[in-house]
Amino acid sequence: MIRRAPTLKIVLALLTVIIALGSAASIKAYPPFVTFPASAPDSGIEPVAATASQAAPKDTPEPAAAPGKAVPYLQILIYHEIGAGPNGLYVAVQNFEEQMKYLYDNGYTGITLAEGRALLEGRGNAPAGQPVVLTFDDAYRSFIDHAYPVLSKYGFKATVFVIADYTGDPNYLSWEQIADIASHGMEIGSHSRTHTLLPTLESTRLNEEIAGSKAVLEQHLGQPVSSFCYPCGEYDQTVIDAVRQAGYQQAVTVKYGWATTQSPALEIPRIRISRYLTHDKFAEMFPPQSRPSSAQQ
Ligand SMILES: [Zn+2]
């Protein structure tokens, strides 16, 4: 035993070196979870490792595609409340204004989720400028007080996800306000009836939350509702099947990533904009684009 001790030490030392080299190599080999922009934005949520379909493109973004040509990827932003508030749901009015102004000044145009999905599929007309999809979850009253005026100033559109049974609450948009913003180009999507975690529900309740909310929204709006947003981003295959069965064309998650032509239509990733996101970090996500001169105001 005594004679073997030095050998054991050497073996242990060698093992340590091998392990160290191995982990260094694996760190090096591990793909960055977002390759572009160079640093991941402070999204306020735990990033999940990007799959091939979610990974952002490596190259500099191309300008908006011509009509009929699919855009290769889209950034879909998540907002909740716009204003001062006690938790991470709130983005300050000033920050939101700066973000929209930055997008406009740098050649971007805010569009709806349905429009974005059409562009990813090579359908629909590309806007004047690089498209970016703006989504607002839960349809808070602050959308009409603080977000809508800024969006209309820049000619941006957005998708607002309504929790159908919350519409009577003063903190949420009323049916009149929802119809009003819809008539001004905003897309209304469903965010279920009661914001319940869908994977926990038995089939009757599940269909009420998914198909039932769609029917209620369509009844109030008098137009089809094609977009769905999973409450708290929670879903499973049964939920996806119910969303498809109900006739939705696209559904968004809170999985972090850029939407690409490969993103499943009912599991589209998004980028949550946190209240703590600095303006520099926001700008890093959106390299300046040239806006066609005909669209300049
Ligand atoms: Zn929500």
Compute the distance from residue 137 Cα to the ligand 1 centre, in Å: 5
Q: How far apart are CA 223 and CA 188, in angstroms?
A: 10
pTM attached to this predicted model: 0.78
Compute the distance from residue 232 Cα to the ligand 1 centre, in Å: 5
Compute the distance from residue 45 Cα to the ligand 1 centre, in Å: 14
Compute the distance from residue 225 Cα to the ligand 1 centre, in Å: 17
Q: How do residues 149-179 score in pLDDT, each as one tens digit? A: 999 999 999 999 999 999 989 999 999 999 9
Compute the distance from residue 192 Cα to the ligand 1 centre, in Å: 9
In this predicted structure, the answer to whether residue 41 has a pLDDT above a threshold of 50 is no
Domain ranges for the chain, please list them.
1-30, 32-290
pLDDT band (50, 70, 90) for residue 290: confident
pLDDT band (50, 70, 90) for residue 125: confident
pLDDT band (50, 70, 90) for residue 197: very high
Q: Indicate the pairing of strand 268-272 with strand 76-79.
A: parallel
Q: What pLDDT shows up at residue 129?
A: 87
In the predicted model, what is the mean pLDDT of residues 116-138? 92
Structure token pair of residue 21: 């080299």
Query: The domain 32-290 belongs to what CATH superfamily?
Result: Glycoside hydrolase/deacetylase (3.20.20.370)
Q: How far apart are CA 223 and CA 183, in angstroms?
A: 11
What is the DSSP code (8-state) at residue 125?
Answer: P
Average pLDDT of the chain is 82
Compute the distance from residue 265 Cα to the ligand 1 centre, in Å: 19
Instruction: Say which residue, 64 or 184, is predicted with more confidence.
Output: 184
Kindly list the distances between the CA atom of residue 43 and the CA atoms of 93, 180, 217, 276, in Å, as whole numbers in the listed order. 18, 31, 30, 8
In the predicted model, what is the mean pLDDT of residues 89-94? 96
Handedness of CA 53, 56, 62, 63 (dihedral sign): positive
Compute the distance from residue 119 Cα to the ligand 1 centre, in Å: 25
In this predicted structure, the answer to whether residue 56 has a pLDDT above a threshold of 70 is no
Q: What pLDDT shows up at residue 43?
A: 37
Q: How far apart are CA 20 and CA 14, in angstroms?
A: 10
